[in-house]
C-alpha cells in the first residue's frame, strides 16, 4: 500500500512540474511575441504543443496570441470581425475562470493595449484591482512575470 502511494505521489509531482515548465515556456514566448508576427506564431505553436482541453491558462494565451495577430491583417472589416470574436472568447475564458489571476492579467494586458475607440476596456480597473490584491499569494515566477509585464505597459 505504501509503495502504491509513493508511486502515485511521484507521478503527481512529475506532472505538476511538467505543467509549470510548460507555462514558463509559454510566458517567455508571450513576452517575446510583442516584437514580431513570427514571435506571435511561435507562441501559438507553443500553446498548441502543450494544449490540453482542461488548461484554461494555455487557452487564454492562445486567444491573446490570436488577438495580437490581428494587427498584421490588412482588411479593416476582417480585423474588426476577428477582434470581436476573439475578445468575446477571452471574456468567456475569464468568466469561467474568474479567480484566475493569470487569465485576468492577460485580459488586462489586451484591454490596456486596445485602442479606446473599440470600446474594449470595461474591465480594466476591476482586473487591475484583482491583480494587485492577489499577486502576493502567487508563485514567485508568476509574480515576476506579471510585475515585469505591468511595468512595460
pLDDT in tens, 113-153: 999 999 999 999 999 999 999 999 999 999 999 999 999 98
Give the Cα separation of 81 and 73 in Å (integer).
11
Per-chain mean pLDDT for the chain: 88
Helix axis angle, 2-33 relative to 37-49, nearest 10°? 170
**DSSP letter assigned to residue 53:** T
pLDDT given for residue 153 in this prediction: 87
Q: Cβ(60)–Cβ(43) under 8 Å? A: no
- pLDDT tier at 9 (50, 70, 90 boundaries)? very low
Give the Cα separation of 150 and 56 in Å (integer).
21
Q: What is the pLDDT of residues 67-85, one digit of tens each?
A: 999 999 999 999 999 999 9
Give the chain's domain count.
1
Q: Which residues contact 147 (CB under 8 A, 6 or more apart)?
A: 135
Going by C-alpha positions, the residue among 115, 90, 122 that lies closest to residue 103 is 90
Range of the domain at 56: 2-152
- pLDDT tier at 54 (50, 70, 90 boundaries)? low
Amino acid at each position: 500500500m505504501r509503495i502504491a502511494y509513493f508511486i502515485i505521489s511521484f507521478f503527481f509531482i512529475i506532472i505538476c512540474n511538467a505543467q509549470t515548465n510548460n507555462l514558463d515556456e509559454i510566458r517567455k514566448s508571450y513576452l517575446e511575441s510583442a516584437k514580431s508576427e513570427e514571435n506571435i506564431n511561435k507562441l501559438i505553436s507553443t500553446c498548441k504543443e502543450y494544449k490540453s482541453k482542461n488548461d484554461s491558462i494555455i487557452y487564454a494565451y492562445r486567444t491573446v496570441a490570436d488577438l495580437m495577430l490581428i494587427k498584421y491583417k490588412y482588411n479593416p472589416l476582417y480585423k474588426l470581425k476577428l477582434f470581436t470574436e476573439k475578445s468575446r472568447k477571452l471574456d468567456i475564458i475569464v468568466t469561467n475562470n474568474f479567480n484566475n489571476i493569470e487569465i485576468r492579467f492577460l485580459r488586462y494586458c489586451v484591454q490596456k493595449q486596445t485602442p479606446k475607440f473599440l470600446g474594449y476596456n470595461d474591465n480594466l480597473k476591476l482586473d487591475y484591482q484583482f491583480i494587485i490584491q492577489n499577486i502576493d499569494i502567487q508563485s514567485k515566477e508568476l509574480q515576476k512575470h506579471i510585475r515585469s509585464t505591468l511595468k512595460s505597459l
